[in-house]
Amino acid sequence: MNTSRINFFKYFLMSAFTLIFCLTVNQASAATAEDLKQDSAHALESLYRVNPTAALIAKQAKAILIFPKVIKAGLVFGGSYGEGVLMKDGQVTEYFNSVSASWGWQAGAESYAYVVFLMNDKAVKYLNKSKGWEFGVGPSIVVVNEGIAKNLSTTTMKNDAYAFVTDQEGLMASLSFEGTKISRIKR
């Protein structure tokens, strides 16, 4: 394959990714703060119906981060974006966004919701003091699947945070490196 074809292919992929990501950001943004609150409450209720363990964890949590709709798309390069809320004592106290970038073998688009239960003061303080929580840095977080959920109880919960992914729609094939960062936004 000659150099001009390779360059064309690279620019085509980057252009496609940029277009997909820009469309993604617009769809994942809530129209108003009130919409974001309502969407987050609905996502949390939906999670509790599907996974009763999440309701058990919520009773012990110091705070809950809820991202009701995250849009992810990629073609070699990918990204995701969603906006959410932080709830303390059943009330929305702050707004956040979740942004990720990825590189590797991937193609497609999907949407999903995710909820992170902050179980102790250490996790809440880290979120408040940091300029953004990068997953894999800071407090320990466990992504809960069906197998883990069956074995969780108030006596076995020892980690700083537990995350549940729910309401997945679309198709995304991926074998990639990804980083996610949660940052405070003003609403």
Does the pLDDT value for residue 68 go beyond 70? yes
Give the span between the Cα atoms of 83 and 71, in whole angstroms.
Answer: 10
Q: Looking at the chain, how many residues does it have?
A: 187
Q: What pLDDT sits at residue 97? A: 93
**Phi, psi at residue 139, to the nearest 5°?**
-60, 150
C-beta atoms surrounding 98 within 10 Å: 22
Q: What pLDDT sits at residue 146? A: 53
Q: Which residues are registered as beta bridge partners of 179?
A: 101
Does the pLDDT value for residue 1 go beyond 80? no
Query: What does pLDDT average to over the chain?
Result: 78
Q: What pLDDT sits at residue 18? A: 52
Q: What pLDDT sits at residue 117? A: 94
When pLDDT is averaged across residues 163-182 and rounded to a whole number, the result is: 75
Q: What pLDDT sits at residue 77? A: 80
Q: How many domains does the chain have?
A: 1
When pLDDT is averaged across residues 122-145 and rounded to a whole number, the result is: 74
Q: Give which of 96, 97, 143 is closest to 117, Cα–Cα.
A: 143
When pLDDT is averaged across residues 128-139 and rounded to a whole number, the result is: 70
When pLDDT is averaged across residues 111-125 and rounded to a whole number, the result is: 92
What are the distances in angstroms from CA 134 to CA 33, 37, 45, 127, 138? Answer: 24, 23, 26, 10, 8
Q: Which residues are registered as beta bridge partners of 99?
A: 81, 181
Structure confidence at residue 69 as a pLDDT band (50, 70, 90): very high
When pLDDT is averaged across residues 56-62 and rounded to a whole number, the result is: 93
Q: What is the residue range of 62's domain?
A: 3-185
Q: Which tops the pLDDT comparison, 10 or 79?
A: 79
Structure confidence at residue 17 as a pLDDT band (50, 70, 90): low
Contact 28, 69 (CB under 8 A): yes
What are the distances in angstroms from CA 127 to CA 8, 27, 154? Answer: 42, 26, 23
**SS3 category, 144:** coil
Does the pLDDT value for residue 152 go beyond 50? no
Structure confidence at residue 147 as a pLDDT band (50, 70, 90): very low
Does the pLDDT value for residue 19 go beyond 70? no
